[in-house]
């Protein structure tokens, strides 16, 4: 019992990360579980998987291979990666990209968690409306959505005009990180809400009542019972939003400033302005590598955490 | 406890020497409790007083308001009007977590992320009980439900019966003065239900809490309760001890909901008998009962339990003073220890008789038999005189 609570929280994370890897298996497509059916005696399954795997190898694997070749084709060879990591500019941009993605993830969780909870308690009609509202942006052009933010956020835009009408000081909402985070969080919100909702929908809300009947306040019941159960959704949403945010281009291009460029913008600049395809490719490879590294790190954490109590342990 | 669990169920686990536990239970008093959902009145002006330490069962079909009543006692639902008192203290506006109750849910409602021990220890954790003391209390509660060896399991690794035992331990670990159970055995199969019934009774004896037990299972209600409140359409139809409930049902709803019954409808005659539509008169109730107020004739109903009726051959002469009808066997159901025989006694009326199946004698369909019962085994449900007396 000593340290029971602490051990418990580690287990929550482990459970959550496991849930997350399931989501990733389905969405991002990482992990060896994909290949397991091929190794076994699952003849028909293997055949069914063969077609999409071949397609993936062609449209994802081959370009990646070309990209890698191109990045090491310069005079520096493989050393280009060391060179890039040694460069202050690259490091600063990489760090900014990671921080921006983290900030977007945080904003999406803060907005998405209550929204997803609302979905679980809403009447069927309201739920349908709320889901449509969150998915609606998917049906609109990405660029138009971002341009809409420009209209709202710019210095003479709707928000600042309203503020000045009310006699309030204007805000700098565009050409900086604020604008980028607002625009990206808007695009990413569905990716946070949907996994959160999927996890919360499975939570029996009588459990909170049970905790309250045991003497817990509503707040304690939420923290000790509901939150741990929704953790798989939180982790799945975080990973999804974070990784997708790493590669954003149009939104930071329109709402950010070149001074605050993200990695994708640096790649774009290298291609269009510098004409250095080698560096651009190497940066692309770097982005993929960082993403994969993060995924691997998470998977390792899952294995290490003491959450996996063996079945039937006494 | 082991010897009790091995006993057959359908037994009332009541010892003559029930200990008067000092910690005991709370006196629960409901006055004018009402709650509606939209236009539907779920609980309609319910008054109920439960004595300290009493095992009170709220029995009724689904939608009768028993669960709504329980949720209001627990504090999950606010009553529209009426009061809930614990030992004379009005708790109507107190949130559920401050009512100091224990509760068992039908779907167990164990916390999936916690071990069995943490689940059971949860009420103590909320009460800031020290870890060392918490542990010994948890172990004692787990011992009581015979699950001490499974303390480190997750709920998902337990069977349904084990999960409900853990839920039971969690509900009693803090010795709540009021223990609420919402169809706790509803999700379990018959054998588990039987063994858990005796466990619940033993725990009630041991802990001494006042228990409010919601069920739609009449057998559970009969075997566990000190008193039963039968709910119908948001009201208490009858409130009495299990044996009174069975022997002296006050309405035909109670009679048919609790056990099998033959309901005879007819008219009340001036000499205190029931005249059936075909003209047969049957004598009912204690010999002298009802004679005095038999001034007015009117519609009346009598209930006779199937096991109080006997079947005889037509040739045998019935003992004088017994009621007898003649019918044709239309159905026979073999139930192991007993056999249910349904007879058509004419005029679309059906009489069901339960007899011991030991004799090996069968009742072939189509055979004509005489069905007899003692007048004392007939219970007046509503008698013309009473009805008229009430309404005037």
CATH of residue B204's domain is 3.40.50.300
- Of the three residues B218, B252, B286, the one that is the final residue of a domain is B252
CA distance A121 to A117: 7
Kindly list the domain boundaries of chain A, sorted by start residue.
11-34+88-304
Percent helix, strand, coil in chain B (nearest 5)? Answer: 30, 30, 40
What is the DSSP code string of B313-373?
Answer: -SSSPPPTT-EEEEEEEEEEEE-SSEEEEEEE-STT-EEEEEEESTT-----TT-EEEEEE
CB within 8 Å of B168: residues ≥ 6 apart: B104, B145, B184, B196, B199, B200, B203
- Tell me if A174 sits within 8 A of A154, measured CB to CB: yes
- CB-based burial, B267-282: b 16+ in 10 Å, e otherwise: ebeeebbbbbeeebeb
* One domain, residues B231 and B295: no
Q: B102: which chain A residues are within 8 Å (Cβ-Cβ)?
A: 213
The owner of tokens 């997708």 is A244
* One domain, residues B239 and B354: no
- Under DSSP, the state recorded for B269 is -
* One domain, residues B333 and B287: yes
What is the DSSP code string of B174-229?
Answer: T--SEEEEESTTTTS-HHHHHHHHHHHHHHHHHH--EEEEEES-HHHHHHH-SEEE
Residues facing B214 on adjacent strands = B58, B182
What order do you get walking across the sheet with B235-240 strand by strand? B101-104, B178-182, B210-215, B55-59, B227-232, B235-240
* One domain, residues B207 and B338: no
Is any Cβ of chain A less than 8 angstroms from the Cβ of B38?
no
* One domain, residues B222 and B317: no
CA distance B331 to B328: 9
- Tell me if B58 sits within 8 A of B182, measured CB to CB: no
Q: How near does any CA of chain B get to the CA of A196, in Å?
A: 18
- Of the three residues B252, B286, B311, the one that is the final residue of a domain is B252
* One domain, residues B182 and B298: no
CB within 8 Å of B286: residues ≥ 6 apart: B376
- Of the three residues B252, B274, B308, the one that is the final residue of a domain is B252
* One domain, residues B267 and B228: no
Q: Residue B377 falls within a domain, yes or no?
A: yes
Give the DSSP H or E segment for B311.
strand B310-312
* One domain, residues B70 and B185: yes
Q: What is the mean pLDDT, run by run of 10 residues, along chain B of 392 residues?
A: 39 40 79 94 96 95 94 95 95 94 93 94 94 93 91 92 94 94 89 89 92 93 95 95 92 88 84 81 66 60 91 84 90 89 87 83 87 89 49 31
* One domain, residues B302 and B363: yes
Taking CA–CA distances from B172, the nearest residue in chain A reads A214
Considering its fold, how many domains does chain B have in total?
2
Contact B76 A212 (CB under 8 A): yes
For A211, the closest of B98, B122, B180 (CB atoms) is B122
Which residues span the domain enclosing B68?
2-100+176-252
Taking CA–CA distances from B150, the nearest residue in chain A reads A314
For B107, the closest of A8, A204, A228 (CB atoms) is A204
The number of CA neighbours under 13 Å toward the Cβ of A218 is 4
* One domain, residues B379 and B336: yes
Q: Residue B211 falls within a domain, yes or no?
A: yes
* One domain, residues B286 and B383: yes
> What are the residue ranges in chain A where pLDDT is below 50?
1-14, 16, 20, 23-39, 306-314
Instruction: Suggest the residue from B94, B105, B109 to mutate for an interface test with chain A (most A CBs closer than 10 A).
Output: B109
Q: Tell which phi-psi region holds residue A208, choosing left (phi > 0), alpha (psi between -120 and 50) or beta.
A: alpha
In CATH, the number for domain A11-34+88-304 is: 1.10.3720.10
What is the torsion angle, in degrees rounded to the nearest 10, for the CA atoms of residue B283, residue B286, residue B288 and residue B294? -60
CA distance A111 to A118: 11
Nearest alpha-carbon partner for A301 in A7, A13, A8, A4 = A13
Q: Residue B120 falls within a domain, yes or no?
A: no
- Tell me if A191 sits within 8 A of A237, measured CB to CB: yes
What is the DSSP code string of B93-108?
Answer: TS-GGGS-EEEE-TT-
Residues 223-282 of A with CB under 8 A from B: 224-225, 228-229
Nearest alpha-carbon partner for B48 in B261, B178, B212, B251 = B212
Return the beta strands (E) in A151-234 as ranges: none
* One domain, residues B239 and B289: no
> Strands B368-373, B323-334: parallel, antiparallel or unpaired by DSSP?
antiparallel
């Amino acid at each position: 019992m000593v340290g029971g609570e602490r051990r418990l929280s580690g287990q929550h994370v482990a459970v959550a990360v496991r849930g997350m890897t399931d989501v990733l298996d389905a969405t991002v497509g990482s992990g060896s579980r994909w290949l397991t059916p091929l190794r076994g005696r699952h003849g028909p399954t293997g055949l069914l998987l063969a077609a999409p795997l071949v397609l993936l190898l062609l449209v994802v694997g081959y370009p990646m291979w070309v990209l890698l070749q191109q990045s090491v084709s310069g005079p520096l060879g493989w050393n280009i990666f060391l060179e890039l990591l040694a460069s202050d500019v690259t490091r600063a941009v990489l760090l900014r990209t990671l921080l921006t993605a983290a900030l977007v993830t945080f904003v999406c969780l803060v907005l998405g968690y209550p929204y997803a909870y609302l979905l679980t308690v809403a009447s069927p009609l309201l739920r349908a409306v709320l889901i449509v509202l969150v998915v609606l942006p998917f049906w609109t052009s990405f660029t138009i959505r971002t341009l809409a933010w420009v209209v709202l956020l710019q210095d003479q835009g709707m928000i600042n005009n309203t503020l000045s009408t009310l006699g309030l000081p204007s805000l700098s909402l565009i050409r900086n990180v604020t604008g980028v985070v607002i625009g990206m969080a808007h695009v990413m919100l569905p990716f946070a809400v949907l996994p959160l909702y999927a996890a919360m929908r499975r939570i029996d809300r009588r459990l909170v009542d049970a905790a309250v009947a045991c003497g817990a306040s509503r707040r304690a019941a939420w923290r000790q019972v509901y939150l741990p159960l929704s953790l798989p959704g939180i982790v799945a949403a975080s990973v999804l939003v974070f990784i997708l945010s790493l590669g954003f281009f149009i939104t930071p291009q329109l709402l950010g400033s070149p001074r605050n460029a993200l990695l994708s913008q640096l790649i774009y600049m290298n291609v269009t302005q510098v004409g250095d395809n080698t560096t651009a490719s190497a940066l692309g490879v770097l982005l993929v590598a960082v993403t994969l590294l993060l995924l691997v790190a998470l998977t390792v954490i899952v294995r290490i955490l003491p959450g996996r109590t063996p079945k039937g342990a006494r | 406890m082991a010897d009790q669990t091995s006993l057959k169920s359908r037994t009332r686990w009541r010892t003559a020497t029930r200990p008067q536990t000092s910690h005991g239970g709370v006196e629960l008093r409901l006055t004018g409790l009402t709650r509606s959902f939209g236009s539907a009145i779920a609980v309609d002006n319910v008054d109920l007083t439960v004595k300290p330490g009493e095992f009170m069962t709220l029995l009724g079909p689904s939608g009768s308001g028993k669960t709504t009543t329980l949720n209001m006692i627990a504090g999950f639902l606010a009553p529209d009007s009426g009061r809930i008192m614990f030992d004379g203290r009005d708790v109507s506006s107190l949130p559920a977590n401050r009512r100091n109750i224990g509760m068992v849910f039908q779907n167990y409602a164990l916390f999936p992320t916690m071990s069995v021990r943490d689940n059971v220890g949860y009420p103590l954790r909320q009460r800031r009980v020290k870890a060392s003391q918490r542990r010994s209390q948890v172990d004692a509660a787990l011992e009581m439900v015979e699950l001490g060896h499974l303390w480190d399991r997750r709920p998902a690794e337990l069977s349904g019966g084990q999960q409900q035992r853990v839920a039971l331990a969690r509900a009693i670990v803090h010795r709540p003065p009021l223990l609420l159970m919402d169809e706790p055995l509803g999700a379990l199969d018959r054998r588990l239900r039987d063994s858990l019934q005796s466990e619940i009774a033993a725990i009630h004896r041991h802990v001494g809490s006042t228990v409010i037990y919601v069920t739609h299972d009449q057998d559970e209600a009969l075997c566990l309760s000190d008193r039963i409140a039968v709910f119908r359409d948001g009201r208490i139809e009858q409130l009495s001890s299990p044996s009174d409930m069975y022997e002296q049902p006050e309405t035909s709803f109670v009679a048919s909901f609790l056990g099998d019954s033959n309901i005879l409808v007819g008219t009340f005659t001036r000499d205190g008998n029931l005249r059936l539509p075909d003209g047969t008169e049957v004598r009912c109730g204690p010999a002298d009962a009802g004679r005095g107020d038999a001034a007015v004739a009117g519609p009346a109903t009598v209930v006779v339990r199937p096991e109080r009726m006997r079947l005889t051959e037509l040739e045998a002469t019935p003992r004088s003073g017994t009621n007898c009808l003649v019918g044709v066997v239309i159905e026979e159901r073999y139930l192991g220890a007993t056999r249910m025989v349904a007879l058509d006694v004419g005029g679309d009326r059906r009489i069901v008789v339960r007899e011991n199946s030991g004799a090996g004698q069968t009742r072939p369909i189509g055979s004509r038999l005489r069905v007899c019962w003692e007048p004392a085994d007939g219970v007046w449900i509503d008698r013309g005189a009473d009805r008229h007396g009430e309404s005037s």
